[in-house]
């Protein structure tokens, strides 16, 4: 019996195959890591290769098409993935010797396709710099191929932002996203954690955050013992903008996995009450377990569709976190599959988001604060929804807020990776004035 190939490249191919069959990259990668004993260097290489190939898929396929007389659609799935892997190493992984990238990748191919793979990769070595990419005059095609995003997303971004902003934004999304921690002030201080970690930076705006570059986060003692939790700075800014105080009653209406509930509880110094709703009952256990790890006792959970009213809770909340389900186009650096999501699949979301916002606004006391947020960068899900809500609810108004040196006089902002160095994220702060 032929021995199964379990090199890092072979395992990367296995994960990419699962993803082609509809699997999620993070789940497939985690499964393969757990089933195979890999050195830390092999694990890091495999992870970078997998996510890199997924993130650059359109670009890599464009190069394959330029080098091959066979249409991409006619190339076998595994062969196409092997070609993507080889090209990604040659183009983007400069620390990998070219001969290793080529020879080790070719060895993954079956006998029938080995010569073809070898020819394409060697052809790139000889002629790759001669490949003609789309011209900037065709903005949609240029953004799609250059930054490996679906054309529908490129078109949507160009409707909302200038061509220059789109390029800068997509370039930022193409960088490896750092890990951002939220320090748990119930157990420690930011200064203490910062001094404990190496290669750490303080967040630009959030007074609670620390940024780690290429850290093995799961191995951090401060994460295991609940002194920190993982939370992007944009999400931390959102929680700080809410302005929750000790003794408040706070509703988090789409709470899972719970980071904003946790952040509010920490800001409130674990004094008051937080009710965390979510439509997915099975996910609420994550909130409950996370609260225990962090030493938070003021959070209770409830399975609830945020579009359906609970009349006994009308007028009961001092603060509301309304972080609605969204298209997720602000986090493509962390969820590469989203790059290829058809924007049309998200056309029904603004209505769902609006219905949630309208319903949960009933829970707020007069004088209370509601934070509406998403992790997307498309106006229909963000400022257009807020404007529509304000037109129909004259008893609400946007109010300015600031977090650190971030001043938001208009009361709403879209945070962008190339300007704020965070996820793409929208925040609007609303006050119930009567």
CATH of the domain at 307: 3.40.50.150
- 1 within a domain of the structure (yes/no): no
- Residues 284, 322, single domain; the answer is yes
418 and 395 in a common domain:
yes
In a domain, 361, yes or no: yes
Burial class from Cβ neighbours inside 10 Å (0-12, 13-18, 19+) for residue 421 reads middle
Residues 197 and 335 in one domain: no
Q: What's the rounded mean pLDDT across residues 95-110? A: 94
Both 242 and 362 in one domain: the answer is: yes
SS3 sequence, 177-228? CCEEEEECCCCCCHHHHHHHCCCEEECCCCCCEEEECCCCHHHCHHHHCCCE
Catalytic residues: 375
Asked, for residue 55, whether it belongs to a domain, the answer is yes
Question: Interior CA angle at 243 toward 286 and 220, to 5°?
Answer: 40
Pair (118, 186) in one structural domain: no
Distances (CA, A) of 311 to 77, 251, 282, 314: 54, 14, 24, 5
What is the total count of domains within the chain?
Answer: 4
* Mean pLDDT, the chain, integer: 95
Which of 95, 130, 165 is the endpoint of a domain? 130
Q: Are 209 and 201 in contact (CB under 8 A)?
A: no
Is residue 168 included in any domain, yes or no?
yes
* Least confident among 1-5, 48-52, 332-336: 1-5
Taking residues 318-324, report their average pLDDT: 98
Distance CA 142, CA 23 (A): 28
Residue located via tokens 């529509």: 388
Mean pLDDT (whole number) for 324-344: 95
Residue 214 has what pLDDT? 66
Whole-structure pTM value: 0.93
Any domain includes 59: yes
What's the rounded Cα separation, in Å, for the pair 50 and 27?
12
CA atoms within 13 A on the CB side of 81: 22
Q: Are residues 240 and 331 in the same domain?
A: yes
pLDDT tens-place string over residues 171-224:
999 998 889 999 999 999 999 999 999 889 999 999 999 999 766 787 899 999
What CA–CA distances, in Å, run from 93 to 63, 89, 177? Answer: 16, 5, 17
Answer yes or no: do 92 and 210 share one domain. Answer: no
Instruction: Check: CB of residue 16 under 8 Å from CB of residue 85.
Output: yes
Res 5 pLDDT > 60: no
Please write the tens of the pLDDT for every residue from 341-392: 999 999 999 999 999 999 999 999 999 999 999 999 999 999 999 999 999 9
Q: How far apart are CA 180 and CA 333, in angstroms?
A: 14
Q: Do residues 319 and 424 share a domain?
A: yes
| Nearest partner of 123 among 179, 167, 66, judged by Cα | 66
Do 196 and 327 lie in a common domain? no
d(CA 434, CA 431): 9
Q: Are 197 and 209 in contact (CB under 8 A)?
A: no
Which whole-number Å values give the CA distances from 227 to 7, 181, 210, in the listed order? 37, 10, 12
Helix pair angle (77-92, 111-127), 10° resolution: 30
Confidence band of 3 (pLDDT split at 50, 70, 90): very low
Whether residue 3 lies inside any domain: the answer is no
pLDDT at 219: 81
Say if residue 1's pLDDT is above 70: no
Same domain, 274 and 383: yes
In a shared domain, residues 190 and 159: no
CATH number at 215 reads 3.30.70.1170
Kindly state the DSSP code that residue 104 receives in the 8-state scheme: H
- Has residue 426 been placed in a domain? yes
Listed residue (309, 394, 392, 315) closest to 356, CA to CA: 309
Indicate the range of 26-40, 120-134, 258-272, 387-401 predicted with least confidence: 26-40
At 222 the pLDDT is 96
Give per-residue pLDDT as tens, 24-47. 888 889 899 889 988 888 998 999
The predicted structure's pLDDT at residue 38: 87
Domain that holds residue 253: 233-432
**Is the pLDDT score of 145 beyond 50?**
yes
The DSSP code for 229 is: E
Three-class SS state of 313: helix
Do 277 and 350 fall into the same domain? Answer: yes
25 inside domain: yes
Q: Is the pLDDT of residue 96 over 50?
A: yes
The arithmetic mean of pLDDT across residues 73-77, rounded, is 93
């Amino acid at each position: 019996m032929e021995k199964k190939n379990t090199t890092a490249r072979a395992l990367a191919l296995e994960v990419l195959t699962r993803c082609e069959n509809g699997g999620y990259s993070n789940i497939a990668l985690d499964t393969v890591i757990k089933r195979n004993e890999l050195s830390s260097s092999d694990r890091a290489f495999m992870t970078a290769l997998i996510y890199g190939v997924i993130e650059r898929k359109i670009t890599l396929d464009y190069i394959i098409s330029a080098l091959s007389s066979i249409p991409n659609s006619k190339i076998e799935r595994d062969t196409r993935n092997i070609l993507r892997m080889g090209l990604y190493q040659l183009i983007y992984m400069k620390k990998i010797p070219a001969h290793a990238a080529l020879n080790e990748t070719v060895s993954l191919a079956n006998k029938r396709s080995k010569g073809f793979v070898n020819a394409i990769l060697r052809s790139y070595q000889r002629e790759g710099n001669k490949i003609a990419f789309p011209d900037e005059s065709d903005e949609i095609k240029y953004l799609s191929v250059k930054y490996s995003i679906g054309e529908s997303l490129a078109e949507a971004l160009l409707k909302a932002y200038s061509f220059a902003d789109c390029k800068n934004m997509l370039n930022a999304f193409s960088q490896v996203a750092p890990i951002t921690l939220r320090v748990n002030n119930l157990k420690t201080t930011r200064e203490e954690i910062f001094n404990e970690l190496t290669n750490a930076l303080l967040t630009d705006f959030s007074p609670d955050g620390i940024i780690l570059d290429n850290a093995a986060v799961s191995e951090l003692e401060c994460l295991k013992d609940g002194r920190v939790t993982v939370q992007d700075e944009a999400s931390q800014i959102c929680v700080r903008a809410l302005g929750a105080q000790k003794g408040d009653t706070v509703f988090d209406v789409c709470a899972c996995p719970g980071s904003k509930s946790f952040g509010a509880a920490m800001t409130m110094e674990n004094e008051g009450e937080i009710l965390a709703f979510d439509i997915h009952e099975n996910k609420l256990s994550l909130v409950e377990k996370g609260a225990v790890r962090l030493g938070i006792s003021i959070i209770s959970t409830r399975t609830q569709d945020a579009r359906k009213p609970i009349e006994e809770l009308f007028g009961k909340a001092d603060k509301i976190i309304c972080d609605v389900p969204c298209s997720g186009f602000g986090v493509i650096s962390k969820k590469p599959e989203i790059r290829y999501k058809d924007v049309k699949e998200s056309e029904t979301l603004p209505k769902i988001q609006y219905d949630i916002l309208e319903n949960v606004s009933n829970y707020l006391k007069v004088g209370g604060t509601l934070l509406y947020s998403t992790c997307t960068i498309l106006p229909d899900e963000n400022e257009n929804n807020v404007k529509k809500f304000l037109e129909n609810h004259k008893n609400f108004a946007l109010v300015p807020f600031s977090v650190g040196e971030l001043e938001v006089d208009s009361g709403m902002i879209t945070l962008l990776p190339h300007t704020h160095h965070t996820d793409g994220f929208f925040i609007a702060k609303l006050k119930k004035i009567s």
